[in-house]
Structure 1
């Protein structure tokens, strides 16, 4: 199917399922999206039953105990190669039943929920490299994928939904994304966001039809390992000025849909990297948490942060817990508690 035909078909299906003639432009700027500051922690899943496993309740409870008010959930589908036109669930994909289960646990713990489905590639390949040979075929497959989770988001009553994450090779394609967002709006009436990588957000072509600008905030803050919070805060200053101007130009607040640092020496030099060194960097991780929260909390355009990530599931970790992104049980968790649970 040609791109134009695909868009017509998607738009027609959407217009039949929406009440009235309101498009996505008529549904943005909801008070909840504008007023709520999100104190979030991501809990990704790497297996079909993680979210229904025996550790799920303990993880949710410990996230709430750290002062979080939001939890982020990340069911993932996979495509075999960057140029492929399809993505599929695998045995690593969280089952729908497990997602329903952990949403119930989150509600009981008093947490709001961001459902942020991912599309990933095998191994260490970056989803930003996805550039399908047959773009209309890929967008049709993606519409089915994201539509499935929009249905699940509506069914489970989650608060916020991400229409995509770090698809930098595609997020400049305005027309197909407008159709996707409109189709999602017809299914889910909560807050919508897209999670752009820190070097992608200025090229995303459809912020005007979303409620929030999402940025995965992995900017490098130093050129050598450091625990100097003041220096890290100085590094944030020009970044935040630029993001603040962008927020104003688009009329949307900015949510850091991900931010995180491994507890390895040098984590502030490459926050996106899972393996920087084998040397403990818990103090550097904590300094980075402090610098981000101290720098961003006073910004009126800042809608909050979802820290990547809480804990790996038993048997899933490729990085030792002492060196992982998790702040749980480390000095960084004390930073969270001080900012999120003062007094």
Structure 2
């Protein structure tokens, strides 16, 4: 723990120096006593220490290596007026759980499903995403990356977007990509998620290939494009570093379901995706995994609690069961290089009982157990995919 602290003490008084040295000695003693990153008691003692050091501008964390955290949380905080302390508390909590990185959503907007103006505005200010990233980098050991959630002004799903003028749309989306590159470089992100769930627009292979090539000129990390679970057969995969997937595939089918049915459906989807990934010689990046804590969690994992006209019944135990099944099904699959868990909102918001947040619900225990497991089954992404366009990915043997 000692490597965390770099001090500028030239102007400090003798009494302050002495008190500070006592504090440091105490902190080092705690570290030696076994208060590690995954220890549940970590937050209780570390938070006030960090706050005190920040007050005197004495804390500097070491620079992070540019390698992706294999288990991330996509942490969606909808209120840009949140204080730094509230944001930091959220970050410290997911860090204490054992997550290695935080993925911060940004929300570019286009006017309508057929318009050609992505990035005409942003649902939340970019500065809000920067504030979260700065706190994560300066006050935690979490790595930081960003994910673009494109929508219309009325929050229509991006999978429905199909512009009338495709050429102009890509010219404008290149500006969105440029903003993602700026964020990634500023905050030492190991990867860029270039786009997510643009189901209809992904059919324009040449345009996406060109955008990836342009992005590589100004970003040296991993480049991901994320498809929706329902459609992932596209022609641009060999130009990116992995097949990104939003994993909201239903576990339930029909009216009569059981845990065995859920697991069987999850296995079927997993095997189809792995076989496809091997055909196109790319590893798998599970960008988002998530379930609401309501009665439709297994049948419609993608259903969110604030959808107009929908009445949901809280069912946190079903959410936990779904997480347990999906995480066990994907465990020890060597084709997978990254798994991200979607979490939205704060425990204080009105739809907490049915939303996709797992914190403070039975699913948190499931995720803690998953995060505590040995990660040796992950294959380092540098081995799976190099920086050359069209480079082949060699399939690990005995992957599943």
Can you give the 5+ residue segments of structure 1 that lack an aligned partner in the other structure?
Answer: 1-31
Counterparts of 2:84 and 2:108 in 1: how far apart (Å)?
20
- TM-score of the pair, normalised by structure 2: 0.71
Residue equivalent to 2:106: 75
Residue equivalent to 2:250: 220
Tell me if 1:294 matches 2:325. no
- Alpha carbons of structure 1 residues 91 and 37: separation in structure 2 relative to 1, 3 Å: closer
Deviations 1:39-70 (A, max 9, x none): 111112435555x6442101111111222112
- Alpha carbons of structure 1 residues 80 and 89: separation in structure 2 relative to 1, 3 Å: closer
- Alpha carbons of structure 1 residues 260 and 225: separation in structure 2 relative to 1, 3 Å: farther
- Kindly state the Cα deviation for residue 151 of structure 1 after the two structures are TM-superposed: 1.7
* Residue 117 (structure 1) aligned to one of 126, 148, 157: 148
Name the Cα RMSD after superposition: 2.4
Residue equivalent to 1:44: 76
- Alpha carbons of structure 1 residues 49 and 174: separation in structure 2 relative to 1, 3 Å: farther
Residue equivalent to 2:360: 329
- Kindly state the Cα deviation for residue 248 of structure 1 after the two structures are TM-superposed: 0.9
Q: Indicate conservation of the 8 Å contact 2:69/2:143, yes or no.
A: no
- Alpha carbons of structure 1 residues 206 and 45: separation in structure 2 relative to 1, 3 Å: farther
Counterparts of 2:257 and 2:89 in 1: how far apart (Å)?
31
SS in 2 for 1:187: coil
Residue equivalent to 2:11: none
Listed as ranges, the matches of 1:80-229 within 5 Å are: 80-88=111-119, 90=121, 92-96=123-127, 98-107=128-137, 108-202=139-233, 204-223=234-253, 228-229=258-259
Tell me if 1:274 matches 2:298. no
Deviations 1:129-149 (A, max 9, x none): 111111111110000111122
Residue equivalent to 1:25: none
Q: Indicate conservation of the 8 Å contact 2:77/2:345, yes or no.
A: no
Q: Indicate conservation of the 8 Å contact 2:107/2:149, yes or no.
A: yes
- Kindly state the Cα deviation for residue 212 of structure 1 after the two structures are TM-superposed: 1.3
Counterparts of 1:226 and 1:41 in 2: how far apart (Å)?
32
Q: Which structure is richer in relative contact order (CA contacts within 8 A, separation 6 or more)? A: 1
Q: Indicate conservation of the 8 Å contact 2:229/2:246, yes or no.
A: yes
- Alpha carbons of structure 1 residues 91 and 149: separation in structure 2 relative to 1, 3 Å: closer
- Alpha carbons of structure 1 residues 226 and 58: separation in structure 2 relative to 1, 3 Å: farther
Q: Indicate conservation of the 8 Å contact 2:73/2:340, yes or no.
A: yes
- Kindly state the Cα deviation for residue 73 of structure 1 after the two structures are TM-superposed: 0.8
- Alpha carbons of structure 1 residues 181 and 49: separation in structure 2 relative to 1, 3 Å: farther
Alignment size in residue pairs: 304
Residue equivalent to 1:23: none
- Kindly state the Cα deviation for residue 278 of structure 1 after the two structures are TM-superposed: 2.7
SS in 2 for 1:113: strand
- Kindly state the Cα deviation for residue 333 of structure 1 after the two structures are TM-superposed: 0.5
SS in 1 for 2:324: helix
- Kindly state the Cα deviation for residue 233 of structure 1 after the two structures are TM-superposed: 1.6
- Alpha carbons of structure 1 residues 53 and 183: separation in structure 2 relative to 1, 3 Å: same
Residue equivalent to 2:295: 265
- Alpha carbons of structure 1 residues 188 and 326: separation in structure 2 relative to 1, 3 Å: same
- Kindly state the Cα deviation for residue 223 of structure 1 after the two structures are TM-superposed: 2.8
Deviations 1:184-212 (A, max 9, x none): 1111111111111001211x221111111
Residue equivalent to 1:13: none
- Kindly state the Cα deviation for residue 178 of structure 1 after the two structures are TM-superposed: 1.3
Counterparts of 2:121 and 2:112 in 1: how far apart (Å)?
15
Residue equivalent to 1:234: 264
